Amino acid sequence: MELVNSLDGRLLMAVPKKGRLHEAALTLLQGSDIQFHRHNRLDIALCHNLPIALVFLGAADIPVFVGEGRCDLGITGQDQVAEHQISVEEILELGFGKCKLQVQVPANGPIKDPKELVGKNVVTSFTHLSREYFKSLEVELYGAEAVEKNGMKTVMKYVGGSVEAACALGVADGIVDLVESGETMKAAGLAAISTVMTTEAVLIRSKQPRNPQLAELILSRIKGVINAKKYVLCSYNIPRTLLSVVHDITPGKRAPTITSLEEEGWVAVQAMVERSRVASVMDQLEEAGAHDILVLQISNSRAGKD
């Protein structure tokens, strides 16, 4: 009871309590300086340095808690938001938890096209998204009127985990489940025949957060952490006469910073570069005549208000 009372006036943020999104979500909170101590087995943790309480929930339940306004912010997958058809604002893609929700069938079986699963048994944790997907296939095959009149032929069965076992156990002709590396699918002797949606982790906000200013502050802190991970700072020296070439290679996020060097005719350039492009940018800079090219990690960043 004491803990419940201490939630008064706090912004409630739902965080995945286990699974694929748990660690990455905690890393984001740490980078955003949201300090907390979670007591053993307790699913609510009060922050020390901000009026926030973290609520640890299953990723699948988070859209419901945020959609009903019981939590103000939450971290979950876009797949879970779409599955629960609940009204929340997806305010920031978080760059982890990337995978695809795919239709899968036994790799050495006869089915090669998802339409061949129409009228058969499909097992999934995503019954809503799967029903919508197969409904559109049935509409293509039989027309909207017939589907409306007779109902759907494809049977969707819910299981909460280890979905890949369903085909081998004879419960399903096909499944709809998440695929990232494809290892689980391959190990179960399955192959993907189509994609229902691609997904990644996302920060969601309720329609009317208790403390909109604090929600905004958390959003900009998390944005800062994500941008810092996405970009590196590239610095190099180059003759001033070559500056126009350099603008093309390292335009920066807004513009590169250019300062004069003590050496006549030379300038130093600093610009943010997407981490994924940095090797090719360095190649191009070297080719263009840049010297002393350095790549520096950014530990945090803020873009500033628009």
Ligand X SMILES: O=P(O)(O)OC[C@H]1O[C@H](OP(=O)(O)OP(=O)(O)O)[C@H](O)[C@@H]1O
| Residues in contact with ligand X by the rule CB under 6 A | 19-20, 161-164, 177-185
Distance of closest approach, residue 115 Cβ to ligand ATP, in angstroms: 26
Dist CA 229 CA 222 (whole Å): 11
Name which position in 9, 110, 151, 161 contacts ligand ATP (CB under 6 A).
161
User: For strand 11-16 and strand 73-77, is the pairing parallel, antiparallel, or unpaired?
Assistant: parallel
Q: Which is nearer to ligand X, 33 or 180 (CB)?
A: 180
Distance of closest approach, residue 142 Cβ to ligand X, in angstroms: 31
Judged by beta carbon distances under 5 to 8 A according to partner kind, the member of ligand X, ligand ATP, none in contact with residue 58 is: ligand ATP
Residue 21 lies near ligand ATP (rule: CB under 6 A)? yes
Distance of closest approach, residue 302 Cβ to ligand ATP, in angstroms: 28
Using CB under 6 A as the binding criterion, the count of chain residues that bind ligand ATP stands at 16
Dist CA 271 CA 259 (whole Å): 12
Nearest to 194 by CA among 100, 121, 131, 110: 100
Site for ligand ATP in 258-297 (CB under 6 A): none
Instruction: Give the C-alpha distances (Å, rounded to integers) separating 277 from 49, 72, 94, 232.
Output: 37, 36, 19, 10
Q: Which is nearer to ligand X, 36 or 126 (CB)?
A: 126
Residue 20 lies near ligand ATP (rule: CB under 6 A)? yes
Distance of closest approach, residue 51 Cβ to ligand X, in angstroms: 33
Q: Which is nearer to ligand ATP, 19 or 239 (CB)?
A: 19
Judged by beta carbon distances under 5 to 8 A according to partner kind, the member of ligand ATP, ligand X, none in contact with residue 183 is: ligand X
Residue 80 lies near ligand ATP (rule: CB under 6 A)? yes
Name which position in 19, 69, 109, 239 contacts ligand ATP (CB under 6 A).
19
Name which position in 11, 53, 75, 79 contacts ligand ATP (CB under 6 A).
79
Distance of closest approach, residue 188 Cβ to ligand X, in angstroms: 8
Distance of closest approach, residue 99 Cβ to ligand X, in angstroms: 6
Dist CA 174 CA 164 (whole Å): 9
Residue 18 lies near ligand ATP (rule: CB under 6 A)? yes
Distance of closest approach, residue 162 Cβ to ligand ATP, in angstroms: 9
Name which position in 43, 180, 274, 292 contacts ligand ATP (CB under 6 A).
180
Name which position in 104, 130, 199, 206 contacts ligand ATP (CB under 6 A).
199
Dist CA 166 CA 106 (whole Å): 10
Distance of closest approach, residue 18 Cβ to ligand X, in angstroms: 9
Site residues (vs ligand ATP, CB under 6 A): 18-21, 58-59, 77, 79-80, 97-99, 161, 178, 180, 199
